[in-house]
Structure 1
Amino acid sequence: MNVLIVESSKPLAQLWQRHLQRSGANVWTAYTQDAAFELLETRSFQVIILDVVVENDSALAISDIAQFRQPEARIIFVTNTSFFSDGSIFNLCANACAYLPSSTPPDDLTNMVHHYARAP
């Protein structure tokens, strides 16, 4: 299973990456929109963990490119803000499968990644 993490906070991205790798996932990390675009062009992902607020970039642009290039990839949105707390993110991104706080325990996030990677 290939997972892409798009998160501006390197310590948080690395924490998630370690947990996912211990569970057997292949994990790539992008800290910027451009890095995410490049990975979406060169790799195939089953699940993308995408921070709603990617510093100085657009999470919705990243999700649009993911939807275009990899329509089967499931996107788990994470955030430490109240953006889209009304659930509207699911109307904006057809690939969205979950919306979680960034403070979600890494083990719980890992379990969700495995669940959505198996989901049809």
Structure 2
Amino acid sequence: MQVLIVEADPDRARSWAAAPGGQGWTVRLASTNRTAIALMDAEAFRVIVLSLDLADGKVPSVPVYAGYRQPEAKIIVVTATGMFHDGSIFQLCSNACTIPGTSAKPADLAARVDNHGNRPVPVRSAAPGANAVH
């Protein structure tokens, strides 16, 4: 399973990557929106762990781009602030599936990645109502 972690703090990103990486997943790290978007252009991700506390301040570009380029990817939005804890992130980002705080333990975050990343992916069909799950 491909996992993209978008986090500006390299120590935090490595601690988050250590738990899922130990489960045989391929984990890619991006510290900026630009790097994350370049990785999404090059690879398909099952789960994207996105910190809203990026230094480049262009947070909305990653979930919007993921919704367009990788609509099946699940996005775990992580924040140190109360931003989006009202649930509005789910209206802005159709891929968002959960919003833990940055204080979440790496093992807890890995469990969320595992939970959302291993769910069946709907197979899209041109016929209305003909979607299947595999």
TM bucket (normalised to shorter chain) is over 0.9
Distance, in Å, in 1 between the alignment partners of 2:64 and 2:8 is 18
SS at match of 2:77: strand
TM-fit CA distance, 1:57: 3.1
Q: Give the structure-1-normalised TM-score.
A: 0.96
Number of the residue aligned with 2:55: 55
The aligned runs of 1:1-120 (5 Å cut-off) are: 1-120=1-120
AA in 2 matched with 1:23: Q
Larger radius of gyration: 2
* Structure 2 residue matching 1:49: 3-state secondary structure: strand
Give, in whole Å, the separation in 2 of the partners of 1:85 and 1:22.
29
Q: Is the 1:32–1:57 Cα contact (8 Å) retained in structure 2?
A: no
Deviations 1:42-101 (A, max 9, x none): 001000000112112322111111110000000000011111121111110000000010
Q: Distance in 2 between matches of 1:54 and 1:72?
A: 23
Structure 1: segments with no counterpart, 5+ residues: none
CA distance in 1 between partners of 2:84 and 2:34 (Å)? 23
> Cα RMSD (Å) of the superposition?
0.8
Moved segments of 4+, more than 3 Å: none
Where in structure 2 are there 5+ consecutive unaligned residues? 121-134
Structure 2 CA distance for aligned equivalents of residues 16 and 95 of structure 1: 20
Length, aligned pairs only: 120
User: Which structure carries more helix by proportion?
Assistant: 1
Name the % identity: 38
